Amino acid sequence: MRATFALRNAARTPLIRFLGKRSTPKSVDHTPRVHPASPTGVLPDSFAAYRAKAQQHGPLGHSSFTSGGGVGGRSGSSLGPVQPAPGEFFDRAELPARFGRLAWTEAEIEAIESGGASMFA
């Protein structure tokens, strides 16, 4: 007997059983209300007023960022050259030689390639 054929012909019964008939409430109040944990206890006048005061990783609606005052409002060349401050470096290769990477020894290469087994053999 083929079990998959028998299972395919069986009637599917859901594993969840609900009590009573499905019904939705006739009247649902959708008027905006202040959240119980709200610090001010009042609703904002409008979404625009809320967004003007909101912060998400920095100010959202301030004109300094959108009308040419910030990074996104001007071209990169108009912001001027980018030079590191004295004592700061952009790349590891620019550091003095004492901070450079050390060369691998043959023993370290052998230990890595053998998975550490050569250290105990």
All structural domains of the chain with their residue ranges: 92-120
Q: What is the pTM of this model?
A: 0.27
Each residue's pLDDT tens digit, 38-55: 888 888 888 887 777 776
Each residue's pLDDT tens digit, 3-37: 666 666 677 888 888 888 888 888 888 888 999 99
Q: How far apart are CA 16 and CA 26, in angstroms?
A: 25
Q: What are phi and psi of 55, to 5 degrees?
A: -130, 135
Query: Which tokens go with 94?
Result: 């620019």
pLDDT over 90 at 100, yes or no: no
> What amino acid occupies position 63?
S
